[in-house]
Structure 1
């Protein structure tokens, strides 16, 4: 796709120019900046948690609940994301945005003032609900408030916002923890959330923003999402107090609830979140979704526990851990940009190469984190992030292209949903491993050494499954193309 940048007028894409001066004069540019702020707030908060965790655990204790901090946030985001897209059929976009921003601000306030880890986790759930709704409403806003001709450019800018948040979040958390307190990091989000709620009525002042959609919303998947929430909660609960019988029962029940969630979703076509044959390796869609799920599960451990382990085990400064996680995000963004214009014939090679990088980086943490070598840890972070940057755009394209025509919209939305579910379940499973390896008894250098030894090793099989699924997807894509050529 040919793209030309003009300093005066904006971006040329598909022969249509976005006149940024006209957008600014009409107020559309301010509205777009406003709705994009929701993405920035959600994504920054999501990635910040890693670098504030050492200070947070030192203040509130509850290291055995670290896995919950990500799992419950992602769970709230999944539920709210599914809800917000449907609520605009009954409540105006402006009212939805105001409510979502208020929820986000209230959740941040609970986190900032939490006297205990359990209260902090309650705040994380409310934050996740607000943040997930803000993200969903940002994408709805583009379709409802702006000219169709400039949608691709606006969606591209929103993707860049994700990239900015991915590396700014860990640095923000580290800087606030060092200079002030981890509580002030959430205090900043309190101000932003309430400020966004207060200004919604001023910025979103168009008829489209305060009208209600005339389309009937599809049925809401209450039973399926309830099973998803139950499954994640049971898995996370299995790791709080690790005991063989209790933890095994809770883990088995949680996994069974997740299986039932996917089966129930598949049985209800009008309200389902995922395309049919979601994990079947008979098509590139199924193997691609397996790759997304497996790598999301396998790679959340370093972002969640890495800074805590490095500061406890090797006395690495929190700010340094922030730079390490930022390096992972930067490599993701840079390599995504570099391969954006690669010819389709190189797609299989790039996907396979990216999957190999992800698996290698995730496996490398099992050796480098206990060793404490910062250069080697950075190398693993860059490998893991760069692998995602290489493979993910093409994986998404293959998955959507492989879906039946009437399921391509569902397939495109399913990729980030599966990724979030993977992060939530992965965080819950990581909590089981970490607590079984020593964190259930508190955090010190000895227990950190035990956790560092086993945490990353336990997730190696999932990384291998992701790599094999990537190869299967590549093979299926090549076979499909060869048949089409014949």
Structure 2
């Protein structure tokens, strides 16, 4: 096929209504990603009203659990239930969760709302990708996926700023109220926008797909909850037992996943250090867990320790996402012989940023804190496209599709586990007793130092990834 035949006529696409329909569908990504990143900058105001600082780590962990489960569910349900019905239910779930959060009188009820929000948001994202395949011509898929990536980037840096602005000038509850109306409006609009057989009819008869991995995903959810529970009330025996059970549960999840070749979420031997797939997955997991500290606790620590405004904290969080996007674009066309330098350089930047936060956050130097945020976000942006490519290229041909979808799934798992484990470190360092300047300083040091070994594990995996070459894994 010639290059000319692949060229997209965007005016004709808009005139046909396909582009407008695609933009509408992609609003689900905007709702999910903005909400995911917004919560960090509304957290200081929310904790001041609801208290429950020992549960801060749950705000992201429980949201990611819902998103992981819903993302895996939506891709299968769309075969049994029409796409439009799935979109409506997902949007209503999202709106319901936002309403619960906005009206929550206590932190436990707020977390229940976050779980429901995560279910709705995760489903909206998965359904957006399904919609591209179902509703649009194959020749424009690359362009549409590119737009989706840009929308995600915009949401990643606008979320913290939006949360900070609304909390600063209105209230943190207003931020969730905004998402309630957004979810409700999207549910109503689905009936007008999603038409035609591809959106309103089932695509296959029941029984044509493998069984949904209920046991494996249930094990994953319970494991993350156990890790989070270990950090609520720090007692050596109780916390140790819960942590060990949670980690064992994660191991059981991967064992259960490996036993179901037709419905697995990860390729075979996902942590084999002798293969590109294994080293790539170790790198993704290690850095996803290790970088949660600043995302979850950064604004709370900065406002408690140094009186930094929510808006300034929002700008710093946003800068991390902007650095990710800019450097990802900057290295996108790098020649293959530069891959090694880019991946190792990105890994080193992430590790340096994590270690640097241990000094800069307690010290309160905004320029240095911003530098660490730029290093952490920029390192991700540099390394991630090439790591993902090497993981997919290193997988066996039968598992290349699984490998590509496993990267974002592993990242979400890492965020969930990281957010839960952050709660253990923060509460052990003093937040379980009180939220004060003195305890915040202790928390700020240990919250980042604790993850330096994991960051070094990610760097080691990056080095092995490049040494492993490009030989495909054996299924």
Query: What range describes the TM-score normalised by the shorter chain of this pair?
Result: over 0.9
1:209 pairs with 190, 199, 205, which one? Answer: 199
Q: What does residue 130 of structure 2 align with?
A: 140
Judged with a 3 Å threshold, the aligned counterparts in structure 2 of structure 1 residues 113 and 212 are, in CA distance, closer, same or farther, namely same
TM-score, normalised by the number of residues in structure 1? 0.95
Q: What does residue 60 of structure 1 align with?
A: 50
Task: Supply the distance in 2 between the matched residues of 1:118 and 1:214 (Cα, whole angstroms).
Answer: 40
1:114 pairs with 87, 98, 104, which one? Answer: 104
1:13/1:153 contact within 8 Å kept: no
- Post-superposition Cα deviations, 1:120-164, rounded to whole Å, max 9, x if no partner, equal 000000000000000000000000000000000000110011100
Q: What does residue 252 of structure 2 align with?
A: 260
Residue 197, structure 1, aligned to residue 191, structure 2: no
2:362 pairs with 353, 370, 379, which one? Answer: 370
Q: How many residues align?
A: 469
Residue 30, structure 1, aligned to residue 20, structure 2: yes
Shift of 1:217: 2.3
Task: Supply the distance in 2 between the matched residues of 1:27 and 1:13 (Cα, whole angstroms).
Answer: 24
Q: What does residue 152 of structure 2 align with?
A: 162
2:118 pairs with 128, 133, 151, which one? Answer: 128
Task: Supply the distance in 1 between the matched residues of 2:237 and 2:27 (Cα, whole angstroms).
Answer: 46
Moved over 6 A (4+): none
Q: What does residue 438 of structure 2 align with?
A: 446
Q: What does residue 162 of structure 2 align with?
A: 172
Partner secondary structure for residue 438 of structure 1: helix
1:284/1:399 contact within 8 Å kept: yes
Task: Supply the distance in 1 between the matched residues of 2:146 and 2:209 (Cα, whole angstroms).
Answer: 27
Q: Please give the residue correspondences for 1:39-438 in structure 2 after superposition, counting only pairs within 5 Å.
A: 39-214=29-204, 216-438=208-430
- Post-superposition Cα deviations, 1:78-129, rounded to whole Å, max 9, x if no partner, equal 0000000000110000000000000000000000110000010000000000
Task: Supply the distance in 2 between the matched residues of 1:44 and 1:87 (Cα, whole angstroms).
Answer: 25
TM-score, normalised by the number of residues in structure 2? 0.97
Task: Supply the distance in 2 between the matched residues of 1:55 and 1:206 (Cα, whole angstroms).
Answer: 45
Task: Supply the distance in 1 between the matched residues of 2:5 and 2:17 (Cα, whole angstroms).
Answer: 24
- Post-superposition Cα deviations, 1:322-372, rounded to whole Å, max 9, x if no partner, equal 010111111100001111111111111110111110111111101111111
Partner secondary structure for residue 469 of structure 2: helix
Shift of 1:442: 2.2
Shift of 1:206: 1.9
Query: How big is the alpha-carbon RMSD for the aligned residues of Structure 1 and Structure 2?
Result: 1.2
Q: What does residue 10 of structure 2 align with?
A: 20
Partner secondary structure for residue 278 of structure 1: coil
Task: Supply the distance in 1 between the matched residues of 2:172 and 2:354 (Cα, whole angstroms).
Answer: 28
Structure 1: gaps of 5 or more residues: 1-11, 482-486
Task: Supply the distance in 1 between the matched residues of 2:185 and 2:87 (Cα, whole angstroms).
Answer: 12
Task: Supply the distance in 1 between the matched residues of 2:155 and 2:3 (Cα, whole angstroms).
Answer: 25
Task: Supply the distance in 2 between the matched residues of 1:477 and 1:38 (Cα, whole angstroms).
Answer: 38
Task: Supply the distance in 2 between the matched residues of 1:463 and 1:14 (Cα, whole angstroms).
Answer: 46
Judged with a 3 Å threshold, the aligned counterparts in structure 2 of structure 1 residues 259 and 14 are, in CA distance, closer, same or farther, namely farther
- Post-superposition Cα deviations, 1:177-219, rounded to whole Å, max 9, x if no partner, equal 1010011111110000000001101000122101111262221
